[in-house]
Amino acid sequence: FPFIPDRERSHGRERGGPSDSLDTTIGELLRRPEFDGYAEYLLPLEFGYRDDWTMRDIPRLLPYHTGVDPEASVAILNRLSERARRGEKVWIDLGREDVGLFAFPGRKGAPFVIVCPGGGFAYVGSIHEGFPYAEAFAAEGMNAFVLQYRTGSGRWACEDLADAILKVRTMRTRPDATP
């Protein structure tokens, strides 16, 4: 079922409003089949969370960030969910634990950008500093990627970025690759 429920509701009210989407729990998000294999990278979970926290609690997961908008975060997660359910390649595993790319395709053959979200090398704040920028770049036609890198060391993050650049450049030379 979609992350934001369909507009029909058994008691006649429209679904998909802020109260419905913001009431989804983190546990429900992490168990969605369309996110199988990479759900744990959608939100920064390094500092811990409770399965019953709702999307309203997203700011609690990003202690080094301010202005985190749960409604905007839910909207992005819904768009990722919809793309994944349509069979689009949303996650590209880079072959190392905790490392991969979220793909936001633009025009075929267009330049690419890799967004490296912050989090003080303690967590990766993709929901706040990655996905929104990648969507904006893709809307302008660029092929955007959000790097999920290993935390704990700037060196590891730089190694992961180098691997990501190599992967994207390699993908671009294959006619069957995305993007």
Distance CA 106, CA 6 (A): 27
What pLDDT, in 10s, does the model give residues 68-119?
999 999 999 999 999 999 999 999 999 999 999 999 999 999 999 999 999 9
Is the pLDDT at 163 greater than 70, yes or no? yes
Q: Does the pLDDT of residue 174 top 60, yes or no?
A: no
The confidence score (pLDDT) of residue 179 equals 57
161, 177 contact by CB (below 8 A): no
Q: What is the pLDDT of residue 5?
A: 35
Structure-token pair, residue 179: 């993007």
Task: Supply the pLDDT for residue 10.
Answer: 31
The DSSP H or E segment spanning 92 is strand 91-96
pLDDT bin (cut points 50, 70, 90) of residue 173 is low
Mean residue pLDDT of the chain comes to 87
155, pLDDT greater than 60? yes
Better pLDDT: 100 or 18: 100
Exposure letters 93-115 (e unless 16+ CB within 10 A, then b): ebeeebbbbbbbbbeeebebbbb
Position 164 pLDDT exceeds 70: yes
Q: What is the pLDDT of residue 13?
A: 32
- At residue 171, does pLDDT exceed 80? yes
Q: Mean pLDDT throughout 45-56?
A: 92
Nearest to 168 by CA among 145, 141, 150, 135: 145
21 vs 2: which has the higher pLDDT = 21
